[in-house]
Amino acid sequence: MTAVDPRLAGRSVHVKVPATTANLGPGFDTLGLALSVYDELEVTVREAPGATVDVRGVGAGEVPTDDTNLVVRAIRHTFDHYEVPMPGLDLVANNVIPHGRGMGSSGAAIVAGVMAAKGLLAGIVDLDSDALLARATELEGHPDNVAPALFGGLTIAWVTPEGPQHKRLTVHRGVSLLVCVPESSTMSTALARSLQPESVPHQDAIFNVSRSALLIAALIQSPELLHAATEDRLHQSYRASAMPETDALIQLLRTAGFAAVVSGAGPSILVLCSDPAQRLKAAELVRSHATTPWESHMLAVDFKGATVIERSADAAA
């Protein structure tokens, strides 16, 4: 048995990661918001090699509880990148973010693992914000979900030859969020992406550029522009056939004047409202017209992003 690095022995960390909603209509693979729904994770170094995961809440009995768990893979990926042998680990995952509903559950799992590694490696390796985003994006494949999960707020994410980048913005206090989640249906991100064409008409690309720019202004300064700013021609219509009730409810909401879009890859719906009363009306519209059970969540924008609390053996004593 390989001995645990003495610098890691006895260490434990607590991680908290927000859910996210990506795309926000026209900002495909670029824009994301952190939501006030959280997964929490406890990670403790142990003598025995390997990892075990105690999953509580969402995903219990469904997701892997060994080294193949996505959180463990993210921890290992980070340790491997910095050439530090990963010690044996005990994990307790308290999951609240729905899986397969377009609220960034996989991105949150990856960020939880990267943040856990950051805490465990404190004093050994310094992971700054660029490093955290790079490690998380390497696993997720694109930064639009992991950026808001890491940093909170509204994020613009893009990729350069030097790696993924982000800009965090503060959302206008008048913006209220409603996320409507179907009780039973799910959507695979891979399936959602497979439904999109390799190219789109030039005029559609121009349309989305204008709406994405307008959406930034609407979210940080002018919420009254949210309905016009959330129009999209790049991805939602192509995916509509795979989630017909989502599409029907979005069309209903938008016709009634609500800024409704697909949350991430779906099938959940995000409604960006200009005041709390408006989102109550939107929730009632969904409740009265949905043909299957949906849950409506009145959420706030999370402004902190992922956090990690480190505890050493000396500190715990």
| 235 falls within a domain | yes
C-alpha to C-alpha distance for 271 and 290, rounded to whole angstroms: 15
> What is the extent of the structural domain holding 258?
176-299
**Secondary structure of residue 133 in the 3-state scheme:** helix
CATH number of the domain residue 34 falls in: 3.30.230.10
| 1 falls within a domain | no
Ranges of residues in the chain whose predicted pLDDT is under 70: 1-3, 187-193, 195-197, 312-317
Check whether residue 50 and residue 157 sit in a common domain: yes
**What does DSSP say about strands 51-57 and 88-95: parallel, antiparallel, or unpaired?**
parallel
C-alpha to C-alpha distance for 250 and 102, rounded to whole angstroms: 15
CB neighbour list of residue 6: distance below 8 Å, 6 or more residues apart? none
Binding residue positions: 98-108
pLDDT of residue 308: 98
pLDDT of residue 12: 97
C-alpha to C-alpha distance for 35 and 37, rounded to whole angstroms: 6
CB neighbour list of residue 125: distance below 8 Å, 6 or more residues apart? 82, 84
Check whether residue 149 and residue 249 sit in a common domain: no
Check whether residue 156 and residue 34 sit in a common domain: yes
C-alpha to C-alpha distance for 172 and 36, rounded to whole angstroms: 16
Residue type, 232: D
Binding residue positions for ATP: 98-108
Structural domain total, the chain: 2
CB neighbour list of residue 78: distance below 8 Å, 6 or more residues apart? 113, 114, 117, 118, 121, 127, 135
Residue type, 292: T
> Where do we find the tokens 């219509």?
237
CB neighbour list of residue 239: distance below 8 Å, 6 or more residues apart? 192, 195, 196, 262, 265, 266
| 7 falls within a domain | no
Contacts 24+ apart (CB under 8 A), 56-65: 56/92, 56/93, 56/94, 56/95, 57/93, 57/94, 57/95, 57/96, 58/95, 58/96, 58/97, 58/98, 58/99, 58/105, 59/93, 59/95, 59/99, 60/95, 62/99, 63/99
Check whether residue 133 and residue 181 sit in a common domain: no
pLDDT of residue 316: 43
DSSP tag of 301: B
| 22 falls within a domain | yes
Check whether residue 126 and residue 203 sit in a common domain: no
**What does DSSP say about strands 88-95 and 31-46: parallel, antiparallel, or unpaired?**
antiparallel
- Cβ atoms of 10 and 216 within 8 Å: the answer is no
pLDDT of residue 234: 85
Range list of H helices, the chain: 70-81, 105-120, 129-140, 146-151, 189-194, 202-220, 226-229, 236-239, 244-255, 276-289, 313-316
Check whether residue 125 and residue 139 sit in a common domain: yes
pLDDT of residue 315: 47
Check whether residue 180 and residue 237 sit in a common domain: yes
Check whether residue 155 and residue 257 sit in a common domain: no
The DSSP element (H or E) to which 51 belongs, if any, is strand 51-57
| 5 falls within a domain | no
C-alpha to C-alpha distance for 89 and 293, rounded to whole angstroms: 39
Check whether residue 43 and residue 103 sit in a common domain: yes
CATH number of the domain residue 233 falls in: 3.30.70.890
Q: What confidence tens digit (pLDDT) does each residue in 97-140 have?
A: 999 999 999 999 999 999 999 999 999 999 999 999 999 999 99
Check whether residue 149 and residue 275 sit in a common domain: no
| 144 falls within a domain | yes
Check whether residue 131 and residue 203 sit in a common domain: no
Check whether residue 160 and residue 214 sit in a common domain: no
| 4 falls within a domain | no
| 193 falls within a domain | yes
CA 302 to chain centre: 11
